[in-house]
Amino acid sequence: MNLVNLLVALRRLPPLGTLTGDEERLLFELKALEDSEETLTVSHVYDLLEGKSGSTSYRILTSLKEKGLVSISSDPNDGRKRFISFTPSAEAVFSALGSP
């Protein structure tokens, strides 16, 4: 029965076919990090995409932003620090997959 529920949930998802493997991996790893009650920052991206250059990692993040799945904002106390948050589109994906 769980497999049937998963298949139904997958059919209800917004199309993720436009995501590359690296984008999808980063999106779900950021979600896992957020679920562990971390405040997401751009520096987390560099840690999560180990083996990728800083510029490549940031390009993957900005691609997720352009696709409407994350937003990036500056810390009002320190403009060098930037936070990542999920958009309603990303939350819909996570909700459809049963993620809290």
Distances (CA, A) of 51 to 46, 47, 63, 97: 9, 9, 18, 28
pLDDT tens digits, 63-81: 999 999 999 999 899 888 9
Greatest C-alpha distance within the chain:
49
Query: Amino acid identity, residue 18?
Result: T
pTM attached to this predicted model: 0.75
Domain positions in the chain are 2-96
pLDDT tens digits, 51-65: 888 889 999 999 999
Tell me which DSSP letter residue 81 carries: E
Give CA 24 to chain center in angstroms.
Answer: 7
> Which CATH code of 3.20.20.10, 1.10.10.10, 2.40.280.10, 3.40.50.410 fits the domain covering 2-96?
1.10.10.10
Q: Distance between CA atoms of 30 and 35, rounded to whole angstroms?
A: 9
Q: Distance between CA atoms of 97 and 4, rounded to whole angstroms?
A: 12
